[in-house]
Every structure is written in structure tokens, then in C-alpha cells.
Chains A and B, each alone.
Chain A
């Protein structure tokens, strides 16, 4: 007997599902495979070799871009997470206030507004600031990345705060804890998994951003993704594959970490 509707029993379900997975993951698999190609083509297999990883490692430009990417991702996710914690506290731990929904929407705005719009508007604003101040450092990129990373950091932190038993904080206040000490000794220790998850997500999002970075960066401020984009205009070698695979590995580790951190404390 059938127990109601189950999409898995519909004809063609498994075919479509498999096709989707193949389309999603086959290209990535090919990318990874060809990063180990001994030849210099990204389409003709000539045997296994680590040479492109070695070449990427020894490439000064790649090294430079990698360090910049990591510094940028660390700083941006730190700024974004800090802002996200404050935003999450304001939207879950205060009495309902006028305009709360608007603020909630505005915090999540980078998820909805097309990235190119954000990129162009930041370009215009930062160009003006650069003109006036003469500062062309990494600060602009950090600010820009932090801005679009906030909603990614905000979501898990807010979810954690909402899932938390409010009576714990009340008990803290009842036992003579001032609001600041209650936050320090009760809320924060409970919130850590959310903060960690949020910052990891923000880190990954910042690490692979192309569009906004391309628009905001000053000359010579290539990150790994924009460096790779630049390379595509010249000769494409499996070195690109090797760098991509390394990036993929970092992302997978972070996202897996996010998953386990999220699960561990539930």
C-alpha cells in the first residue's frame, strides 16, 4: 500500500536526479582530474603528475594572490561576524521595535540585490574616497567583502539565538547577573557554535568572490579568483585547475566543519 505521495516513486525520478548530479559534479571531477595532467592541456590527458601544483606553488603571483585572499577572507569574515552578532542580538533579544522587519530585510539585502549592482555602487563610492584620501590599500576590499558576508554570518548566529532557551538568560539575570555579564557568561558560551559556523560561511563566501572584488580592487590587488580570471585571457594551463582544486579543498573543509560544528551542539 502506498502511504501518500512520494516523489521518489514517480516515473523518471531517478533518471532526472542522476542527470542533475552528473551535470553538477562531472565538470568539477574533470577539473580535479586534469589538475594532475602531465601535459599542458586542460582537455587532453597525458598521464599523472604533480607538476602543476608545484608550478602553482612556485608562482610568485599565485603566492601573492593566495596570501591576499586569505588575509582578506579572515579580516572580512571577522568584521562581518562581529556585525552579525550585534545584528542578531538586536533582532532576537530586544523588545519588538518599529522598523524591525525593515532592518531584518536590510541586513539580508546582499542576498537579494544583484551582486553587480553592489559592485558598481561600491566602485563609484570607493573611487570618490580614493580620490579624496589617496588611500588605496586593502581596506576597501575588506569593507566590501564584510558587507556582503554579513547575511551569511548572520543567519546561523540568529538561528542559534532563536533556538536558545530564553529562561537561561532570565536565570542569569535572576541570579544577579548584569546584562553584560549574562551575555559574557551565559549567552556567549552558548552562541559559540553559531559564531563559528557563521564566520566559516563568511570566510568561504569571501574567499571565492569575483565580481565585487574585480570592481573594487586597486591595481595589483589580485585575489586568487581574480588572478585566475586574468589568466584565462592568456594561455590556459592545468595550473588553473590545480589552484581551483586547492580552493575547492579549502571550501569543502570549511563547509564540512560548519556542518559538524552546527550538529555537535544540538
Chain B
């Protein structure tokens, strides 16, 4: 278990000072696949490098299973990193790369040989063990980097956007592969990415970061279905924002009135402050959480501005009567006929309890 508390990292001084991490506190559980997700410059890599020991924080504490990590140099931390650039040693073979960590730990020769063979097997690189790292493909280098970091059996594996250099198909493959490896080894994975889809498919839990702070922590479903604030809703997936007023609240549920006049039950964020009746709020609704219908008696209505075909699904862009826009997504079915045409006056329905009330 990694416990991070009040971690702050400031680069530079005075006027040009930049806070890369701003009072970050988070607990990463043992054996979980934990993802740090955010746009570039949000501090996710800084946090990862601090755990690895390449950066010293300005303030805060960092412990692994109760043991202080900050007082230890990188080579004494039971933590290994898969670098974004892989950082394979170019003057060594694949097998020598994988053996390096074990050699530095002064393991016995027989043990090193056995572990290297096992790791090569694990990442399916046995046939290429004696190649130089420059003689293998990007995907293979990726596997070697993984095997090298896993070989010493670290308590925690840190992964710094390891899939970003791979092409689309290979990336999909490696996503499943990583998930499998995490499962088989039982090692805690801390994974950094800016790719929300990657985060959603692989993680047990996700921490969404922005401007040096963690905005929301939760399972992929929590984060996607119940974004706590505008940034999270906007960064992960597509979202429609609707203005509304609180009519009444009842625990995590609230009844709100939309600008169009329609009323609906909405969900409040888990740690949101109590909302007063009459307060103005923003609702987030995912494009696939709404349905097109006839305008009469619908929750919202507007004019269908664009219908965009995407193969697996179709996007409908609706200009609402209240000057807002709404995007809807419908999965395409074989033999389906196009019911709605551009320019039609359409209605929109959302199931009660689906809209999420944002904190900001």
C-alpha cells in the first residue's frame, strides 16, 4: 500500500515558480491497477517520478507498506519503472537487460538465469533473448522493458505512458497484455496516461489529475458515469452540459428544473456540499444516456442540426430551443432505417436519476 500525503513539488523560485504537485494525498492499495490520468502538465508524471525517486518533493510524505520512501535513493526503493522511451540499455542484449536488476541485487547466477528465462517466457520473447535491443521492434522493446522491470519482483511497478509510442492495434493488444501481467504477478501497477480510453479499460481505480491536483478518484464506472466536476466530465468521454436549478434534495438524489422547464431527478456527487433549494447547478449527461423522441411532451426539444455516421454508432447534434446544444450517440443496428433527418424538430428524453450534478 502506497500512502501519499500532502505531497507538493515546486520547480523554480519566486516569479517563475511552478507548482507541479499541489498538496496531493492518495492511497494506492496493494495489488491494484491504479491509473493517474490527466492532460500533459497535470503533474501525473511528476508524481510517478517522485515515487520512483528521481524527484524530491518540496513537502509531503510518501510511504510504501508503512516504510518511508523519501529518505531512500531510487536504487534502494522496491519499485521499478517502465519508462516512456523504454530506456533499454543499447549495449546489452535482451536477456542482459532483463538480468540487470537481479545482478545489481547480487542474486545468485542460477537464480538470475532462471528468472530471466521465466520473464522471457512471460512476455513471449524467449526466441529473441540474444538480440541487441536495437534489433527488435517497438512492441518487442516494450515487452523487454516490462520484463526488465518485473524481473526483480518489485512491490510496485510504475508505468510512464508505456503504450504511447505504439500503433493503434499493438496498443490494444498491450493493454490486455498489461492487465494480464498485473493479474498474474499480483504486483501493484501505477500507470500514467493521458488516454482516457486506456485508463477506463485497464484500471481498477483511476485518479483524474489537473493542474497538480487530484480531481477525482474512483473506479472506471464511477468516473465515467458520475463525474464530480466539469473538468472530469469534460476530460473523460464526451459530455453534454445543461444548466438547471435545484428544486429539492434527498440524500444523493436531487430534483432539478432544466432551463427548458422540464423537471428530472439527478444524482449529486459523493462528496459534494449540501445544495440549497433554488441553487443554480450544471448537469452532465453522456451522449448515450439520452434518447431521441417526438418533440411533444419530451424533456427537451430542439432542431436536429447534424447526423454524423461513425460506423459503430451515429452522432446526432441537436440545437436545443434554449440556446444550448446536445449531442446524442446511438449504436447502429444492422438493417436499421434512419428515422430522423437533419432539420427535423425533435425531442430528447433522459431517464430519471441519470444526469449528474457537478460540483462546479
Contact = CB atoms under 8 A, between A and B. Distances in A.
Interface of A: 165, 167-168, 170-179, 181-182, 185-186, 189-190
Nearest to A169: B87
A175 B83 contact: no
A178 B75 CA distance: 6
Contact of B75 (A165, A176, A190): A176
B85 A167 contact: yes
Given A174-B81, A175-B148, A176-B152, A168 B104 contact: no
Q: Which of B53, B76, B88, B89 has the most CB of A within 10 A?
A: B89
Contact of B104 (A165, A167, A170, A181): A181
A175 B101 contact: yes
Nearest to B74: A173
B152 to A, nearest CB: 7
A174 B74 contact: yes
Contact of A176 (B54, B91, B101): B101
Contact of A168 (B81, B89, B101, B105): B89
A173 B75 contact: yes
18 contacts: A165-B87, A167-B83, A167-B85, A170-B52, A171-B81, A171-B83, A171-B87, A171-B89, A174-B52, A174-B54, A174-B149, A175-B75, A175-B101, A175-B104, A175-B149, A175-B152, A177-B75, A177-B104
B231 interface: no
A130 to B, nearest CB: 46
A168 B75 CA distance: 14
Given A170-B52, A172-B104, A177-B75, 7 more contacts: A167-B85, A176-B104, A176-B105, A177-B104, A178-B104, A179-B75, A186-B89
Nearest to A192: B91
Question: What 9 A-B pairs come out closest when comparing CB atoms?
Answer: A175-B101, A176-B104, A167-B87, A171-B87, A173-B74, A189-B91, A177-B104, A174-B81, A176-B75
Contact of A174 (B75, B90, B91, B105): B75
B179 to A, nearest CB: 23
A176 B79 CA distance: 9
B90 A190 contact: yes
Interface string B24-66: 0000000000000000000000000000111000000000000
A178 B91 CA distance: 19
Contact of B87 (A168, A176, A177, A182): A168
Interface in B95-145: 100-101, 104-105
A250 to B, nearest CB: 30
Contacts of A181: 104
B74 A170 contact: yes
Nearest to A188: B91
A195 to B, nearest CB: 14
B8 interface: no
Contacts of B152: 175-176
Contacts, number: 64
Interface of B: 52-54, 73-76, 79-81, 83, 85, 87-91, 100-101, 104-105, 148-149, 152
A179 B83 CA distance: 19
A175 B76 CA distance: 9
B91 A190 contact: yes
Contacts of A182: 75
A175 B80 contact: yes
Contacts of A168: 87, 89-90
A178 B100 CA distance: 12
Contacts of B149: 174-175
Contacts of A174: 52-54, 74-75, 79-81, 149
Interface centre among B52, B80, B91 (most CB of A within 10 A): B91
Contact of B100 (A170, A172, A190): A172
Of listed A168, A171, A175, A186, residue having the most chain B CB within 10 A: A175
Contacts of A172: 89, 100, 104
- Name, among B87, B89, B152, the residue most crowded by chain A CB atoms within 10 Å (CB to CB): B87
Nearest to B145: A171
Nearest to B73: A173
B144 to A, nearest CB: 12
Contacts of B85: 165, 167
A1 B90 CA distance: 45
A181 B75 CA distance: 11
B62 to A, nearest CB: 16
A179 B85 CA distance: 21
A227 to B, nearest CB: 43
B100 A175 contact: yes
Contacts of A189: 91
Nearest to A177: B104
Nearest to A176: B104
Contacts of A185: 100
Output the residue of A172, A174, A181 with the most chain B CB within 10 A: A174
Nearest to A181: B104
A28 B343 CA distance: 86
Given A175-B104, A175-B148, A170 B54 contact: yes
